[in-house]
Amino acid sequence: MPGTGWTPRRLTLWRDGMLQAGAALYLKTHSWGEYVFDWAWADAYRRHGLSYYPKLLGAVPFTPVPGTRLLARDASSRQALASAVRAFAQEASSSSAHLLFIDDADLQVLRTQGWLLREGVQFHWQRDNTQPCASFDEFIGRLQRHKRKNILQERRRVAEAGITFTAHEGSAIEAPLWDFFHHCYTRTYAEHRSAPYLTRAFFAEVAHTMPGHWLMFVARRDGAPVASSLIAIDPQRRVAFGRYWGCIEHVPCLHFEACYYQPLAWCLERGWERFEGGAQGEHKMARGLLPVRTWSAHWLADERFAGAVADFLEREGGAVDAYIDELGERNPFRRGAWPAS
């Protein structure tokens, strides 16, 4: 993809004409769109007269969703693929290789191969299978009183502003709704003085090729749309992923309603397993999303920098552990009302 800084590379392993493993990789000339921040590493390379870019990345662009980055038929194929990723980085003269938001199977393999591991924190709602909630009211009834009161106040402010919501799933998200959503999406980036990466053509493509994986909430006043949020969904695993939102006018607390309360209510009513609220955001915890540890894996060709980064990650990991412990002491649910995360 010329001019974007993302050059796709696909690494596959075959045996007897059968595909055994594969990884979607990118050679990158920057660190935008990753949600695992290594700008300081790049700056350290620059200050020592070295080039950090190009680097090799294994991730879903602009998508901080944990999952497998080493697609493999079995454990031995995953081991071989992990080794091949590192070898490919060396052949491509990359400074490093990075696999972001990996799952447990990838984590186990990459740990045994000596990759540097980095911890992060996200906030997810996970269904309580021992005492499942069937509605949003039942869900917030398990929160501590002041948390519940704040949520009810936020929702009341949105309702008193004359806002109602409609939910649109799959092929029911028609082109005019995608047009409106994209307009909102670009406004969100403009308000943060940055440029959006994803084009209207991109959303048209995913709407056409994978319609069953999208859910859109549209906020309306007097029938006219004023905001929208886009949720990616995995119907097979019954998991929803908060992605993008935007509005054409400011309404207090509308962001919380569109991005958290509406998707959560939708998941609860359908008995879904998990809602992932996206990257960062400690404020999500006050709304019933609990901290979850995430992992990424890193390999650096320069042994001196690898040692320095390893030392940094050890210290950072200790801070993440302490942060998660601290968050655990601030669990928003009433004691005994929700299992420990």
Inter-axis angle of helices 200-209 and 175-191, nearest 10: 140
Question: What mean pLDDT comes out for the span 130-150?
Answer: 95
Place domain 128-272 in its CATH homologous superfamily.
Gcn5-related N-acetyltransferase (GNAT) (3.40.630.30)
DSSP for residue 162: T
Distances (CA, A) of 243 to 62, 88, 127, 220, 280: 9, 31, 20, 20, 12
75 contacts: CB under 8 Å, gap ≥ 6: 105, 109
- pLDDT of 167: 98
- pLDDT of 280: 75
Question: What mean pLDDT comes out for the span 15-26?
Answer: 98
Distances (CA, A) of 340 to 124, 288, 320: 13, 12, 18
Characterise 53 by phi-psi region: left (phi > 0), alpha (psi -120 to 50), beta (else). Answer: beta
CA distance 83 to 202: 33
Question: What mean pLDDT comes out for the span 52-60?
Answer: 97
- pLDDT of 1: 65
**Cβ–Cβ contacts within 10 Å for residue 92, how many?**
15
CA distance 197 to 175: 20
Q: How sure is the predictor about 201, in pLDDT bands with cuts at 50, 70 and 90?
A: very high
| pLDDT tens digit sequence for 142-167 | 999 999 999 999 999 999 999 999 99
pLDDT of 340 over the 60 cut: no
- Token duo for residue 39: 């700008």
Question: What mean pLDDT comes out for the span 171-188?
Answer: 97
DSSP string, 69-100: SSEESSHHHHHHHHHHHHHHHHHTT-SEEEE-
CA 333, 336, 338, 341 torsion-angle sign: positive
| pLDDT tens digit sequence for 62-91 | 999 999 999 999 999 999 999 999 999 999
Residue % of the chain over a pLDDT of 70: 98
Burial of 302 (0-12, 13-18, 19+ CB in 10 A): middle
- 243 with 140: CB under 8 angstroms? no
- pLDDT of 341: 46
Is the peptide bond between 54 and the residue preceding it cis, with omega within 30 degrees of 0?
A: yes
Inter-axis angle of helices 39-47 and 303-328, nearest 10: 150
Question: What mean pLDDT comes out for the span 262-268?
Answer: 97
191 contacts: CB under 8 Å, gap ≥ 6: none
What would be the CATH architecture of the domain defined by 6-121+292-328? 3-Layer(aba) Sandwich (3.40)
Question: What mean pLDDT comes out for the span 290-318?
Answer: 97
3-state secondary structure of 260: helix
pLDDT of 2 over the 80 cut: no
341 contacts: CB under 8 Å, gap ≥ 6: 126, 290, 291, 292, 328, 331
Mean pLDDT of the chain: 95
Q: How sure is the predictor about 136, in pLDDT bands with cuts at 50, 70 and 90?
A: very high
3-state secondary structure of 262: helix
Rounded to the nearest angstrom, the gap between the alpha carbon of residue 336 and the centroid of all alpha carbons in its chain is: 29
CA-closest candidate to residue 23, choices 130, 93, 134, 102: 102
